[in-house]
Amino acid sequence: MKLGEMTWPELKALDKNKVVPVYPIASFEQHGPHLPFLTDTLETQEIVERLDRRLPDDVAVLPTQWLGYSFHHTRLGCLTATSETHINVITETVGCLIEVGFEKVMIVNGHGGNEADMAVALQKLKEKYADSRVYGVAYWKAAHERLEKIREAGPHGWGHAGEMETSMMLVIRPDLVKEERGGLDGTHPESAYGDQVSQFLRIDEMTEQGVYGDPSFGTKEKGERMLDAAAEALAEVVGDIQNGRL
């Protein structure tokens, strides 16, 4: 069900111990020379809508929040909140759901740059609502094993605006996908400690075209399978939340 299409009496009548509100968060940022600024938002919305179709009586879906944290894309183009603003938007939105009586809330993240802010928001929500159960999940992490069986571009080919996002956009809005997509883009640390050492870099410091992957591997057929894989994984997460396994 879509929360925004309900009336307040309908909201009041919901079994708030069973129904899980789904709050999708995404971004408005460049996705290379071949995909639109709203790519993350369109993808996340589509995945959540597919989740809703699978579990219409178990979830209450919110509209996807397009404003995310995208500072690392500013030199190529984005609309971004500061971390402080973004964290506050997340915590206050979820806080409203808790205040109205929902016992469990799931945030679905559709943008890698939101991960840090979402983690802090979860901490702040627990500090303010000690008995709350708020869950944050990135769809690509939940569906990792499923997606691995679909990807063909190798370990560095599926990232930002690469194989996966190009494939999904060919399903969602093929009219917005440019025919000239280019190939593999993005640099990776040469050090053996590259995965253990954290640093924050802008996208223009890591790529030539604002792509961190290989869009040439994108196909509509894979996109359909990827979207379904993400929705199926999230449906399992909802089930585990409802049954107390999370």
Using CB atoms within 10 Å of the CB of residue 120, give its burial: 0 to 12 exposed, 13 to 18 middle, 19+ buried.
middle
Q: What is the pLDDT of residue 95?
A: 98
Q: Which structure tokens are listed for 101?
A: 């009586």
Other residues' Cβ atoms within 10 Å of the Cβ of residue 184: 17
pLDDT band at 212 (very low <50, low <70, confident <90, very high): confident
Average pLDDT over residues 141-146: 98
What CA–CA distance (Å, rounded) separates 58 from 171? 26
pLDDT over threshold 80, residue 134: yes
Cβ distance 44 to 110 under 8 Å? yes
Among left, alpha and beta (phi > 0; psi -120 to 50; other), residue 210 is left
Q: Which of 3-17, 85-99, 189-203 has the lowest mean pLDDT?
A: 189-203
Q: Return mean pLDDT, the chain.
A: 95
- Domains of the chain in start order, with CATH, are 3-242 (3.40.50.10310)
Q: Side-chain half-sphere of 177: how many Cα atoms within 13 Å?
A: 24
The SS3 call for residue 55 is coil
pLDDT band at 49 (very low <50, low <70, confident <90, very high): very high
Other residues' Cβ atoms within 10 Å of the Cβ of residue 240: 12
- The set of long-range contacts for 2-6, using a CB threshold of 8 Å and a minimum separation of 24, is 2/52, 2/60, 2/61, 3/60, 3/61, 3/62, 4/62, 4/63, 6/60
Cβ distance 46 to 229 under 8 Å? no
Name the packing angle between helices 163-172 and 220-242 (round to 10°): 90
Cβ distance 143 to 13 under 8 Å? no
Using CB atoms within 10 Å of the CB of residue 125, give its burial: 0 to 12 exposed, 13 to 18 middle, 19+ buried.
buried
Q: What is the pLDDT of residue 141?
A: 98
Torsion of Cα atoms, 116 then 136 then 217 then 42, to 10°: -100
Of 22, 26, 12, nearest in space to 105 by CA: 22
pLDDT band at 155 (very low <50, low <70, confident <90, very high): confident
Which pLDDT tens digit goes with each residue over 50-107? 999 999 999 999 999 999 999 999 999 999 999 999 999 999 999 999 999 999 999 9
Average pLDDT over residues 13-28: 97
- What is the share, in percent, of the chain residues with pLDDT greater than 90? 84
pTM of the model: 0.94
